[in-house]
Every structure is written in C-alpha cells, then in structure tokens.
Amino acid sequence: MTGDLDWVVRAWLELDPNPAHRDQLRALVEQGNTRELERLFEQPLSFGTAGLRGAVGPGTSAMNLVMVTALARALSDYLSTRAQVARVVIGFDARPESESYARAIAKELADDGHHVLLLEKAAPTPLVAFLARLRGTDAAVVATASHNPRSDAGIKVFDELGIQIKGPWDREIQARMGNTSRELIERVLMPRRKTEQAGRIEAPEARDIAAYFSWIRELGQRVDPGSGARIRVAYSPLHGVGGEAALRVAKELGFDLAVVEEQAEPDGAFPTLPRPNPEEPGTMDLLSALAEDENLSLALANDPDADRLALLAENEGGQLVQWSGDELGLLLADAWLEAAKVPDPLLVASVVSSPAVALLAEKRGATLARTLTGFKWICHRADTDSFVFAYEEALGYCFGLGPRRPVLDKDGIAALAIVVSLARRLAAETGLSPGQALTRRLAELSVEVGLWVNKPHNVRFESDEIAARARVGQQLLRSPSLGKIADFQVERRVDYRVPSVAEERGIPTDDVLTLELRRADAQAVVHVRPSGTEPKLKIYCHVGSELGRVEDAPLVRARLEQTAHEISSALERVLLSAP
C-alpha cells in the first residue's frame, strides 16, 4: 500500500465502530488486496438525490457510521452559518442501519448546540417533510435508502422549506465533508468546537403527528365528499413503514384494507421481495395474489419509506393490471384539479413524464411547469400559492391547495387516500367495481388527450465494460447520423446538457437527452438519462395516438405497448452495440 492509503486504512480501523467492517478491512490488509482497498477509499460518496445513498460497508465509498458522522458534522457546521441554534427534525425508515444513523446524526447536532426533533420509531418520509414545514425547522433529515436494493442505506436532507436540498446546500455540505478520503477522515478526527448552549433531543408532539393525518383526511374528503360507500382494497407496505399510517387513514376515511400478511411488518431485509421497488418485476406478486384470492379489483402498495404509491386495477376484461406512474399521474392530476378548485392552478412534472399531462393542463386551463427529474427540483418550483399537483413517472405524487401546501415532497400516504376516495366515488357513480371505475375514467381521459403509454426500461451497468459501451452509445444517440430508431423517424433532439437548450426551458443543465419520434400512425417521446441513485441508464419511452372511443382503449393500448417495447429494445441495442 502507498503511505496515504496505509494511513487512511489504519485511521478508519480506529474510527469505524462496526466490528464486521473492521474485520473486512483487516482481512483485505492481510491478503494484500490493495486494489480492493483502493476501491473502498478511492473517492468519498458524493451527494446524489438530496443526500447520500450507497451499499453498506467499510470505507468512504460506502455507507457506514463514519460517513454518517462526517455528513452530520458537515450539516451542523453549515446550519451554524445560517442560525445560531438550528432546529432539525429527524426520521428514519425500517432498514437495519437507519435508526442508528438517525440517532448518530441527532447526537452530533445536539452536541453542537442545535435542537432536534427525533421521531421515536420508523415513520413515512412525508411525515417528516410535513413536520419540517409545520414546525418551521431549519432542516430535516431522513435516514432512508427508499426503494434502493436491500444492501443499501442512505440519508436524505431537506432544507428550511421542508424540500429536498439542492444547491447551494448540497455543495456546502459536501465541501465541509471533505473532497478526499484523507480529508474526510481528518475532519472526523478533529475535535469539535465547544458550544455555550447545550442542544437537546426531544420527540415531536402527538398533536403535530395528528395534524398530518388531518391533512390526509381532508384530501380524501375533498375527492369524495359523501358517497358513503365502504370499499375494500388490497394493500402492501412492502415490508416498509407505510402500514400503520395506511391503516389509520383507512379507519379515518371509512374504507377497509386487506393487507399482505407476509409484508405487513417493517423489515429492512425485505425477505419476500426480489427488490424493494414496486416498479421492478415480481415485487407486486404477493399483493396481486391477495387481490385475486379475495376478489378485489383494486390493490395499492407503498414503497419502503411510503413516499411513493403503486397501483393495480382491474381492467375491462377483469384482469389486474399494474399502472404506470404516468397513468396514475394523469388520473390524479385530473381528480385533484377538480377537487382543489384553486384559481389559475399550477401543475409541475419532470421533463421525462408523459406528454399527456401537458395536454390535460391545456384543456383544464392550468399551467404546467417542467423541471429536471427529482422532487428537489419539482417542489422548489411548486412552492407557490397557485400550486395544486406535482408528479414524476417514478410513482411520486404531491398535492397542494394553493397557499396551503404542508408537504412539499412526494407523499404515498396522501396518494393512497385520494386514489381510494376517487375509486369509491366513481364506483358509486358508475356501478362498476372500484378498480374498473378507475380504469374507465383513465380511458375517458385518454379520449380527451390521446392514449399515451410509457414503458420505462433500465440498462444496468453490471460491469465497467458495459458502462463504457453505454457512454459511447449515448454519444451515438446524440449524433444526427442516427436518423431512425425502430421504424420511427427522429424528428428532433433536445440535449439538456447544452446551456442554451436548458435555459430556454427554464431548468439547469443536466445529462438528459430527449428524442421526438414519429411515424404515420403514432408519435413517441423518448428520454434517456443516468440514474441518480443506481449504476444504470433509464429510458423513458412514451408512445401515443388518438383514441376515438373508450371501448377501443384495450386494443390501442396493446398496440402502443408493443411499439414502446420495440423502441426501447432498439435503443438498448444502440447503447450497447458501441465498440
């Protein structure tokens, strides 16, 4: 080992309180595995989606208590430049490391004289976002890796508005953590300043938590002010923290949940799931089976930190079908515009979300703002007195009532309350089952704005070689020499890396490429971008055409889904065929 690497490893062995991590490092030292040691300490984790996420393990390139301490101290130092005594609310999900991370951050902040509201048990991320705005805190922190693989852990940071951080917060915190492994470790080893005023850690008041559920109840009651029907819906928290909250909402709004028993209790090992992400194949299988066993036409799932919502609904033929985030986003945008009744309403969606919502906004007299992907961008744009609804296709939804917007983050519990309330009302109006009533309403909207399908596709980097080929392939997609994809003509390219292009659309530059495609019977809009949390490229392929009648929706949808698959497959071939 080089002298610097030797120092870093020895210092880490003194700092890391996790014996398994220390044993792993000692074994690598004894084996002389310098390559793996260099990988572990090559570069500290950098801020991605409003914080840090990564695999749990030793070293600065992984998530562990040393990295959490570095982040906590950097956050504390930055908060001290903004307030003498900062107030911070902290929550955590059910992953194995999350509670210890949350308590470590709380202790560091309190030791520096700040005041901390620490939730006593694992709770939904949107509850923390709500408490931050309700109490007017200077920041909020959630120890969560959301829907990342089970091996990951993470920390998410919110600013003084209760919105996921962006610049300058992320840059300031990152800089205070240190740009190299040695710098980061030296700062963790450095004695902390002494504070004149002692900080404190206390739990949020029960009435503040109750206020969150009062808000959720109001959302549901606005959508269904009085159908009075009691419906039963299948539900899974996917081993996450949403179960208790969902049952409370069901009780207060008067509907019943049939919960997947094997997934009801929080368990960060996610023992029944291939991946803890409702968008991934196989994740919704137990929920679908429960709905079929109990003859339920509607099934819902929150992701592990309950900030997203996935939906299965009975289609025209009586089969349970999982909706895309864009389909649910269109339905919720229409329903909440009607229920909110805010003058000159504002909708917000990411640039990769469906063209359908723009067409709906035009027909409803609303303004649609597009932002980069991620709720840190979406909700900073939504923080205005005309805000009504925001979403991104990755199953995230946010609701406001103009001047009242107590949660400026995606909220899977709020989405659940509104979806069930809407299904109950539509079922009462149409005589259809709750799931089929939602399916029919989506088809009616598609007659208005065209039927659009989106088939997200991931190109995972299983090796450095695949990642390198994909980078070359991205350049080919940007080249005018590629004039055709599948049997669609490339009519236009929009490269958000180009400052003039991003500025024209009022958003920062980002590594997003949009391709507008057309053939005689359909049009397509395709977006390609790297994931902010995992080693993969994400392809969003929206294909649309006119829908003349509600009854034609199944056939048109099937044709468009096949077309979307063909386009995505063609794109993957382009991306991975590069030498």
* Residue 492, SS3 per DSSP: strand
Its pTM stands at: 0.93
pLDDT for 524 equals 94
Strand partners, 232: 256
The terminus-to-terminus CA distance of the chain in angstroms comes to 34
Helices 464-478 and 553-576: crossing angle, nearest 10°?
Answer: 110
Q: Confidence band (pLDDT; 50, 70, 90) for 453?
A: very high
Rounded mean pLDDT, 152-172: 96
- Alpha-carbon gap, residue 367 to 376, rounded angstroms: 20
pLDDT for 578 equals 57
Pairing of strands 309-314, 320-322: antiparallel
pLDDT for 465 equals 74
Contact between 437 and 423 (Cβ < 8 Å): yes
Q: Confidence band (pLDDT; 50, 70, 90) for 522?
A: confident
pLDDT for 456 equals 79
pLDDT one-digit tens code per residue, 239-287: 999 999 999 999 999 999 999 999 999 999 999 999 999 999 999 999 9
Q: Confidence band (pLDDT; 50, 70, 90) for 3?
A: low
pLDDT one-digit tens code per residue, 107-151: 999 999 999 999 999 999 999 999 999 999 999 999 999 988 999
- Alpha-carbon gap, residue 344 to 282, rounded angstroms: 41
**Domains of the chain and any CATH numbers:** 43-204 (3.40.120.10), 209-270+279-449 (3.40.120.10), 452-576 (3.30.310.50)
Rounded mean pLDDT, 162-176: 95
CB atoms within 10 A of CB 507: 19
In order of 3, 41, 180, 567, the CA distances from 9 in angstroms are 10, 8, 13, 48
Q: Confidence band (pLDDT; 50, 70, 90) for 2?
A: low
The two three-digit tokens of residue 239, written as one number: 């081993």
For the CA atoms of the chain, what is the radius of gyration? 24
Contact between 442 and 330 (Cβ < 8 Å): yes
Own/partner pairs, 194-198, CB within 8 angstroms, 24+ separation: 195/111, 195/112, 195/113, 196/113, 197/85, 197/113, 198/110, 198/113
Q: Confidence band (pLDDT; 50, 70, 90) for 521?
A: confident
Residue 472 confidence (pLDDT) above 80: no
Q: Which residue, 44, 112, 15, 119, is CA-closest to 73? A: 112
- Alpha-carbon gap, residue 17 to 556, rounded angstroms: 58
Bond prior to 403 in cis (omega within 30° of 0) = no
Which of 302-316, 465-479, 513-527 is least confident? 465-479
pLDDT for 505 equals 87
Helices 65-82 and 98-111: crossing angle, nearest 10°?
Answer: 40
Size (the chain), residues: 579
Task: Give phi and psi for 329, each to the nearest 5.
Answer: -60, -40
- Alpha-carbon gap, residue 154 to 175, rounded angstroms: 19
pLDDT cut 70: percent of the chain above it: 98
pLDDT one-digit tens code per residue, 421-452: 999 999 999 999 999 999 999 999 999 999 99
Contact between 123 and 303 (Cβ < 8 Å): no
In order of 127, 206, 213, the CA distances from 210 in angstroms are 10, 6, 5
Residue 538 confidence (pLDDT) above 80: yes
Query: Considering Cα of 182, then 185, then 191, then 192, what sign does the dihedral take?
Result: positive
* Residue 151, SS3 per DSSP: coil
pLDDT for 482 equals 84
Close Cβ partners of 475 (under 8 Å, ≥ 6 residues apart): none
Residue 579 confidence (pLDDT) above 60: no
pLDDT cut 90: percent of the chain above it: 80
Contact between 525 and 564 (Cβ < 8 Å): no
Residue that the structure tokens 């470790």 belong to: 185
Q: Confidence band (pLDDT; 50, 70, 90) for 570?
A: confident
376: alpha, beta or left? (left if phi > 0; alpha if psi -120 to 50)? alpha
Close Cβ partners of 59 (under 8 Å, ≥ 6 residues apart): 12, 25, 39, 40, 41, 181
- Alpha-carbon gap, residue 403 to 400, rounded angstroms: 8
- Alpha-carbon gap, residue 385 to 383, rounded angstroms: 7
